[in-house]
Structure 1
């Protein structure tokens, strides 16, 4: 189903320039998708971010701990916002996208490492890297660059790795890392990808589908559905700006837009809320917003998001100082 949305109007409270450590939360969204920010969440006692620059994703484990990938590695926060663990070192750097999955009673994180040209899989407990997915020579492709931006896993364990910053092929591996196939073409046509930037398994549908962010599609970014064999199903929604990633919670989907907002879709893939909209075009889609210039309740380079079991959202900005925010869902 194709819905062209050049402009969507919602009742969103305009936020003036409050500092990011303001004692007052900011309410955003509307209806069932109303949230309050948690000022200062994730900051150290001195008020500074522990992350360094961020250009990655967010996932939540079954205990409710939050994992975010900064350029330096992976940081683990408690639900209250304290850093409780880190995975640092060159093998954990530059994870552009993450997915968390339970397998045989153990949790694993899958990551797409754009600058390091590979996918990885590591144990949440202990951090051991158990699988690496370099460019598959068996594909027969002759690529000058391999820069994965997204990763997801099907119920049978097949792994989907999107080469979103280069060929825009999506490579499929079995659970052991053996190459199976690839699909996708770089371009701006209906069934082509112009930066297949984000991707997840859309569990709202049976059989499950791939939900893919076509970030730089012209004239506006869009989401696409493909089946697990790599066949085009439909253009889900257009007019999204620059969608960077997608996260599923029941019937809902959160979609960060690099321009500085996050939209939430319902089961019919209609936008039902817009969060953190940045009214300043110079600051939306901007990496270079230092912490001193963060505004509570206003996003900048919105890049990753994830839901916890209670429907709260964690949102990461692509940001020089490293910004991760908690949004608490308001239940009337």
Structure 2
């Protein structure tokens, strides 16, 4: 019996755990709500996270990663606890960080002798007095306990950015050789490349290229895509184009994959699949870029959509993907798919922005 199947049966046999009152109003999923299509179907477990708001306040759950031991690291933007560490049962086992009031991007990199984290703070946030601050962002490399290893300098200080170009990084990706790629998704839409020691190498993207294929329109995420073996690529989000763009590691354009109706966040590569949270979506009635219509989309090795967890089934006509929408059954429970984390048993964890402080939702593979 596969471990995933065993754990699933064990969970079904266990007595139900009562939700805290504060979470009960959020967890509107029917007991047997199954989402997704084909071989990628999931049971929704809105009660997975055992988070006491009195102890661990949440504003937005931006991103989550899993280490080799199975611990799950959640990055948010509450000033008291930027990072919450969960075990697989949903219990918070650690918390740290208060230096990242606009915590947004979280990347885990296995260096062989240890695993490290890269944290993007966009710089734009509400301070403790409720005042909006639009400060330059930052990228910090830490150990799994939050100990700072180094911070990348502002690109302007090394002549990469011109006067007036904003810097609000949203995501990082780390290549096998240690090169660091920073997506400036809320700033100037560049992808900035550094070596493993934080020394600048190059950059590309932005919005005003002679070749429009290089333009990025809200470069919200970036990932190293090794699915083609000896042809490593960069998968880059162009969220307002409802698309991913693929580049060589040197920044040469390869292709664009359009996802009509889905305003995707960062690409997450797992096996032969690419997964992404859908933060905003078009509706079946024709409304564009609507809030609270999120879900998770899953692409195969050829970048064809094979399942939408919390969304409608993908339809292709004459090879063209038709507009996708949120599954009405999850409306009010799935708000904004800001990130998706995959564990060792191929369960998914949905992290959400603007979801009334809701913790991540477990989508248990069936």
> What is the TM-score with the length of structure 1 in the denominator?
0.82
Match of 2:234, SS? strand
- SS of corresponding position for 2:263: coil
Structure 1 counterpart SS, 2:203: strand
Q: Is the 8 A contact 2:36 2:311 kept in 1?
A: no
Q: SS at 2:296's partner residue?
A: strand
CA deviation map 1:3-33 (0-9, x unaligned): xxxxxxxxxxxxxx99506671421112210
- Structure 2 counterpart of 1:225, from 235, 241, 246: 246
The equivalent position to 2:161 in structure 1, one of 133, 137, 141, is 141
- SS of 1:258's equivalent in the other structure is strand
Number of the residue aligned with 1:291 = none
Paired positions, count = 295
For the Cα contact (< 8 Å) 1:49–1:322, is it kept in 2? Answer: no
Match of 2:147 in 1: 128
SS in 1 for 2:221: strand
Structure 1 residue 45, shift from structure 2 partner:
6.0
Aligned-pair CA distance for 1:95: 2.2
State the SS of the aligned residue for 1:190.
Answer: helix
The equivalent residue for 1:311 is 346
Matched, 1:273 2:307: yes
Distance 1:207-1:26 versus aligned 2 partners, 3 A rule: same
- 1:200-225 deviation digits (Å, cap 9, x = unpaired): 111212321110110012xxx10110
Structure 2 counterparts to residues 111-122 of structure 1, below 5 A: 111-115=119-123, 117-122=137-142
Q: Contact 1:74–1:93 at 8 Å: present in 2 too? A: no
Alignment CA distance shift 1:313-1:225 (3 Å): same
Q: Structure 2 length normalisation: TM-score? A: 0.75
Instruction: Tell me, yes or no, if structure 1 residue 323 matches structure 2 residue 344.
Output: no
Greater relative contact order (Cα 8 A, min sep 6): structure 1 or 2? 1
Give the whole-Å Cα distance in 1 for the aligned partners of 2:47 and 2:221: 28
For the residue of structure 2 that corresponds to 1:216, the secondary structure is helix
User: Does 2:299 align with 1:299?
Assistant: no
Q: CA deviation at 1:295?
A: 5.8
Rg larger for: 2
- TM-fit CA distance, 1:297: 8.6
Give the CA deviation at 1:228: 0.6
- Aligned residue in 1 for 2:197: 176
Q: Please tell me whether the aligned partners of residues 211 and 226 of structure 1 are also in contact (alpha carbons under 8 angstroms).
A: yes
State whether residues 313 and 327 of structure 1, in contact with CA within 8 Å, keep that contact through their aligned partners in structure 2: yes
Aligned-residue offset at 1:276: 1.7
Structure 1: any 5+ residue segments left out of the alignment?
Answer: 1-16, 279-283, 286-293
Structure 1, residues 40-97: CA drift from partner, whole Å, max 9, x if none? 1113368x8944111521101111111111102011111100000112212x432211
Q: Match of 2:213, SS? A: coil
Distance 1:312 1:74, change over 3 A: same
Segment of structure 1 superposing worse, 68-77 or 49-58? 49-58
- The structure in which a higher percent of residues are helix is 2
Within-5 A mapping of 1:274-289: 274-277=308-311
Q: Is residue 192 of structure 1 aligned with residue 198 of structure 2?
A: no
Q: Which residue of 2 aligns with 1:66?
A: 72
Residue 109 (1) aligns with residue 117 (2): yes
Q: Distance in 2 between matches of 1:25 and 1:297?
A: 17
Q: Please, which runs of 5 or more residues in structure 2 have no aligned partner?
A: 1-23, 124-135, 281-293, 313-324
2:107 to 74, 99, 104: 99
Matched with 1:82 is: 91
Tell me the equivalent position of 1:28.
35
Secondary structure at the counterpart of residue 305 of structure 1 = strand
Aligned-partner SS, 1:167: coil
Whether the aligned pair in 2 keeps the contact of 1:49 and 1:321 (CA below 8 Å) is: no
Paired with 2:69 and 2:57, the residues of 1 have a C-alpha distance of 22
Find the aligned partners of 1:317 and 1:303 in 2 and give their Cα distance.
Answer: 5
* Backbone CA RMSD of aligned residues: 2.6
SS, match of residue 119 in structure 1? strand
